[in-house]
Amino acid sequence: MKTIKIISLSLLSVIGFTSCSSDDDNNDDDIPVVTTYSTSFGELNNSAVSGTATISIEDNKMTVEINASGLVADQAHPQHIHGKDANNEDATCPPASADTDGDGIITIPEGAPFYGGVLLPLDEFPTADATGNINYTKTFTLGEGDMPTLEALLPLENRAIVLHGLMQDDTYVATIPVACAQIVKD
């Protein structure tokens, strides 16, 4: 009995090995090219929001993962890839001096000279949990439907991700930027 078991185990491993190597042969000319990016968020408007984002691109599939904390709990937080699409100039995160009207809040338009307009809304916008965390992952199929093409988003290292949504005078204002991250190619 023991011998039979050993033989069947080795047969299984031979079969397993054979099927693996034939897969490899088939894929030799077709190795998927995955480009990855990552970044960390800095707070805007004294939000105390922090977190990280990663982006991976394979063909026209772009997967975005965002993990952040310190957001207003139980509220939906708009999030976008921002950029200056006119000349692909580098998008940056606005400094405190971006608050040009001096009201203490950097609004979307006050930040726009730094991070540009919205190139892609990262919907569906996540709702922060009861402790203010968001954990978001979505794969976008670029160039299909109303999705921008990959070419329109590149170079991603010249883009920034902005998270929005802050309490102002006891009211939740979903538009106020609360965190910003310049995208970095790995």
The residues that touch Cu ion, with contacts defined as CB under 5 A, are 80, 162
Q: How far is the CB of 79 from Cu ion (least distance, A)?
A: 7
**Among 87, 62, 76, 86, CA closest to 137:** 62
Q: Toward Cu ion, which CB reaches closer, 91 or 142?
A: 91
Closer Cβ to Cu ion, 130 or 174, answer by number: 174
Please provide the DSSP assignment of 31-64 as one string: ---EEEEEEEEEESTT---EEEEEEEEETTEEEE
Assigned token pair, 3: 């011998």
| Least gap, CB of 109 to Cu ion (angstroms) | 11
Q: How far is the CB of 51 from Cu ion (least distance, A)?
A: 15
- At its nearest, how many Å lie between Cu ion and the CB of residue 118? 5
- How buried is residue 173: exposed, middle or buried, by Cβ count under 10 Å (0-12/13-18/19+)? middle
Identify whether 58 is preceded by a cis peptide bond (ω within 30 of 0). Answer: no
Q: Closest CB to Cu ion among 57 and 77?
A: 77
Residue facing Cu ion at closest CB distance: 80
Residue 134 or 162: the one with the smaller Cβ distance to Cu ion is: 162
